[in-house]
Amino acid sequence: MSEQALLSVENLVVDYGRRHRRVQAVSGVSFAVPERQTLGLVGESGSGKSTTGRCVSFVQRPTGGTVRFAGTDLSTLPARELRRARTKLQMVFQDPISSLNPRRKVIDIVAEPLAIWGGVNRKEMMRRAADMLEAVGMDPAVTGNRRPGELSGGQCQRISVARALMLEPALLVCDEPVSALDVSVQAQILNLLTDLKERYGLTMLFIAHDLAVVKATSDRVAVMYLGKLCELGPVEDLYLSPQHPYSAALVDAVPVPDPRRPVAGPPLSGDMPSPADPPSGCRFRTRCPFAQDICAIEEPPLEEIAPGHLVACHFPTSSR
């Protein structure tokens, strides 16, 4: 898999803060995304999923580890080539309002990537921006001359997507693109992203804290907890038989619209420990209902328990 992977992340580490108050947001995360696939990245707030996404799209430099895009480690490129190369990695952000410059017209925001790279005259820029607005389901004649403050969150998010696609990226990192939207609008944006993925042959890293959202978009899912991966597998396997107790709790927490369905075990209690002072051994043990002595001593490695399904747990569901 790693050979044709468009994106491969190896042992990614990100530290925040100065020497004495150091916090490790991401501690040794590895995964790969093959071309034209979507990897969902889930976890609760503070689990390091956004930081991972920012490193992948080179908005932020990791402290350690490598991010390979189409086989090359972009951090080794000279500044000029990096600037050109990173256009192939675009991002869609969580906050639809903050994602767009409030002072600029929608059409100019969408045309900006072309303006940065030049080579096309203004008329052509406007035409391509208008086409892209149409592709994301907006009417350029109506919205083109508006400013972001006049639009709804869903509309703003469509514009963010349009802007991200202008440079014909190969990889789109979506950092919780629908978390700030109404549920009805969420579905529209998810459908839009799925359609565009097909149309433009995109590879996606889809970050979310809502498993249902990830299920709708992803081929594979990675579950993060406190800066580490606990489980990585095809989306059906993860939903039907989650192996890590944390994934299992997340899957159980997805509401099912069936009143006769039995309640699946007690929900997790407690909060995530501070990443400044992570627990020894397995990071999930403080909240794990199955934790044993060994969990405090030895950190479980991420191991393949079925083809393409990796778990970091001493007592995965199938072995209990």
Per CB under 8 A, 102 contacts another protein: yes
Distance CA 302, CA 304 (A): 7
Minimal distance, residue 87 CB to another protein, in Å: 5
Give the interface segment with another protein, choosing from 26-34, 61-69, 145-153, 247-255 (CB under 8 A).
145-153
Distance CA 27, CA 23 (A): 10
* β-bridge partners, 69: 7, 72
Binding mask 23-52 for another protein (x = CB under 8 A): ------------------------------
Minimal distance, residue 233 CB to another protein, in Å: 29
Minimal distance, residue 12 CB to another protein, in Å: 18
Phi and psi at residue 287, in whole multiples of 5°?
Answer: -120, 5
Per CB under 8 A, 140 contacts another protein: no
For residue 281, what are the CA distances in angstroms to 12, 52, 196, 295, 296? Answer: 19, 22, 42, 6, 4
Selected from 2, 11, 71, 116, the binder of another protein by CB under 8 A is 116
Q: Determine how β-strand 5-16 pairs with β-strand 64-69.
A: antiparallel
Selected from 53, 65, 96, 245, the binder of another protein by CB under 8 A is 96
Per CB under 8 A, 305 contacts another protein: no
Residues 157-196 within binding reach of another protein (CB under 8 A): 160, 163-164, 167, 180, 182, 184-185, 188, 191-192, 195
Selected from 28, 34, 137, 279, the binder of another protein by CB under 8 A is 137
Minimal distance, residue 59 CB to another protein, in Å: 5
Contacts of residue 158, defined as CB under 8 A and 6 or more positions apart, other chains included, come to 136, 137, 138, 189, 192
Per CB under 8 A, 154 contacts another protein: yes
Distance CA 282, CA 300 (A): 6
Minimal distance, residue 114 CB to another protein, in Å: 10
Contacts of residue 172, defined as CB under 8 A and 6 or more positions apart, other chains included, come to 90, 91, 92, 164, 165, 193, 197, 202, 203, 204, 205
Give the interface segment with another protein, choosing from 7-15, 43-51, 93-101, 266-274 (CB under 8 A).
93-101
**Count residues contacting another protein (CB under 8 A)?**
56
Selected from 152, 274, 280, 292, the binder of another protein by CB under 8 A is 152
Asked if 226 and 298 touch (Cβ cutoff 8 Å), the reply is no
- Whichever of 69 and 284 has its CB closer to another protein, that residue is 69
Helical (H) or strand (E) element with 79: helix 79-85
User: Which tokens hold the place of 18?
Assistant: 């100065």
* β-bridge partners, 171: 89, 203
For residue 216, what are the CA distances in angstroms to 75, 99, 114, 141, 164? Answer: 33, 24, 32, 32, 21
Q: Residue numbers of the site for another protein (CB under 8 A)?
A: 57-59, 83-84, 86-87, 89-91, 93-104, 109, 112-113, 116-117, 134-139, 145, 147-156, 160, 163-164, 167, 180, 182, 184-185, 188, 191-192, 195
